[in-house]
Structure 1
Amino acid sequence: MNKMIDSHIHLDHYSDEEIELILTSLDEGYCEKLISVSYDLKSCKRNLKLANKHVEVMSAFGFHPEQELPSEHTIKELFSWMEKNKDRMVAIGEVGLPYYFRTENKSTIKHEAYIELLDAFLKLASQWDKPVILHAVYDDAPIVCDLLEKHYIQNAHFHWFKGDNVTIERMIRNGYYISITPDVLYEQEIQELVKKYPLEQLMVETDGPWPFEGIFTGKMTEPKMIHESISVIAELKKEEITKIYKTIYGNTKNFYRI
């Protein structure tokens, strides 16, 4: 079995018992590292504790956009904490724009405020020379590309990406990475994305504890599910599975400098 890395998981969102189960089964699942992304300051602090305790966990700090914006005081507190702990984070993330939250709350969401917050995160990523993990889908993706280009950021990882062909081509040209979730087993949109996107710019993720369907229905999302994803990616790319494992593993290690 070949090694892999879960490039995007919300480990801090699992219960203590589930975290223990996931971590103790990593060797069995040939998962070398977990990139655990953060939701807010509380989440950042828990991820840092997990990373300090477990060598397999690499923490990323940020503010997930699919929620109400924090107060100015809370943002300053988060940025200050991140600066003090920047040497302990592998990336800034998860950050981005609130596509789903905005769709559900059209009349109350101030999109410009979210864009300004993301711009501030990207400025820090540029200053601190950190990769950035992005939540940016559909209409939001071109806006995020604009901001990345503004800050001359190339080390961008779009997790669970969905978008139009023009944006996909732009992301490929700019050298941005995407990561594929277990829904590649049953979602045609994701399968088509895998066919289009260069293998050299692909990673894999679970986005756990987000649940999946098909053969994963009713199961706790965990890193070993990625092996099924890689098998499907190999079929879609019409490549030997050993090459898919080796390339994706190398992509992830190089991107996150681990």
Structure 2
Amino acid sequence: MRLIDTHFHYDFLPPASRERFKAGIAREGVEIIAQTVRPSGFIELERENLPMVAVGYHPWYIDDNYERELEIFREALPRTRFVGEIGLDFAPRRLDDVSAETQIHVLTSILDAVRASSLFHILSIHTVRSADMVLDLLEPRLDTSSSVAPGETFVPIFHRFGGTSDELTRLIRAGGYISVNPLMLRTKRGRAYVSQVPVDRLLLETDLPREPRSGDGAEMVAAEVIAALRETVAEVAALRNMDEAELTDALANNAKTIGI
């Protein structure tokens, strides 16, 4: 059975332990999409033997050098089909660090580059207290009245979605997906969304590691990823009254449908 972690922070692993991590997940048939928090981080990961590396610009990591990072993003975009982690974070403590205006400028620049690209891209998007604004930016770029049909240039995945039910409906109507991890399933709202959203719009993720790791712990992180994915499958299957094998096949087919 194919298990795909669509949101893993590979760049948080110490370089010396990465090969052992890859070997550990490969033994269990697990694949990852390696997210990056800055475009310059993508350049570093390109040198590694990874089949799926995303170029991203996480809102927490935007600094005064953001225009240069956006240049790197535009240069790197033709070399990958994956974009992430990108998005907006309007939690008060995050806005103290990076203004909403700057975050919106960065995300708009990213989405415009993706829309102009000749490649189809898969986007993993951070939407803390900002799903409505992210959707406001996405929807015109997926406009059915435009010359480009929805889903023809990119597909949005809201990572660990925590917005409102109306925002979730907008996402699904826009052709989007949600990626689910154990933390999302610990909330009443998260469990309700996972129960209600069409099964063909669900994907798996772990969002691991939570922070940059130091030292050697590759085998432990690999075990955490495998356990988190299996736990998520078991919980989602129970919530939806599905067989775990049936759900695993459906999730793998969802990933295949969008080119993962």
Q: TM-score interval w.r.t. the shorter chain? A: 0.7 to 0.9
The aligned residue for residue 230 of structure 1 is: 233
* Pairwise CA RMSD: 2.1
The percentage of counterpart residues that share the same residue type is 24
Deviation at 1:19, TM superposition (A): 2.1
Give the letter aligned to residue 134 of structure 1: I
Deviations 1:100-128 (A, max 9, x none): 4xx11545642122112111111111112
Give the letter aligned to residue 244 of structure 1: L
Q: Does 1:137 align with 2:128?
A: yes
Q: How does 1:186-205 map to 2 (within 5 A)?
A: 186-205=186-205
Q: Does 1:124 align with 2:118?
A: no
Decide whether the 8 Å contact of 2:9 with 2:207 is kept in 1: yes
Give 1:93's match in structure 2, choosing from 81, 84, 89.
Answer: 84
1 CA distance for matches of 2:107 and 2:67?
16
The aligned residue for residue 58 of structure 1 is: 52
Decide whether the 8 Å contact of 1:92 with 1:121 is kept in 2: no
Give 1:151's match in structure 2, choosing from 138, 141, 147.
Answer: 141
Decide whether the 8 Å contact of 2:38 with 2:58 is kept in 1: yes
The aligned residue for residue 246 of structure 1 is: 249
Question: Residues 165 and 151 from structure 1, CA distance in 2 versus in 1: closer, same or farther, beyond 3 angstroms?
Answer: same
Structure 2 length as normaliser, TM-score?
A: 0.83
Give the letter aligned to residue 143 of structure 1: M
Q: 5+ unaligned residues in a row in structure 1: which ranges?
A: 212-218
2 CA distance for matches of 1:25 and 1:105?
35
The aligned residue for residue 167 of structure 2 is: 167
Deviation at 1:184, TM superposition (A): 4.6
2 CA distance for matches of 1:145 and 1:169?
11
Q: Does 1:78 align with 2:72?
A: yes
Decide whether the 8 Å contact of 1:7 with 1:205 is kept in 2: yes
Q: How many residues align?
A: 238
Give the letter aligned to residue 239 of structure 2: L
The aligned residue for residue 146 of structure 2 is: none
Deviations 1:71-104 (A, max 9, x none): 2542343234314xx23x121211111234xx11
The aligned residue for residue 38 of structure 1 is: 36
Higher RCO (C-alpha 8 Å, min separation 6): 2
Q: 5+ unaligned residues in a row in structure 2: which ranges?
A: 143-149, 212-219
Q: Does 1:114 align with 2:103?
A: yes
Deviation at 1:208, TM superposition (A): 1.0
Decide whether the 8 Å contact of 1:184 with 1:232 is kept in 2: no
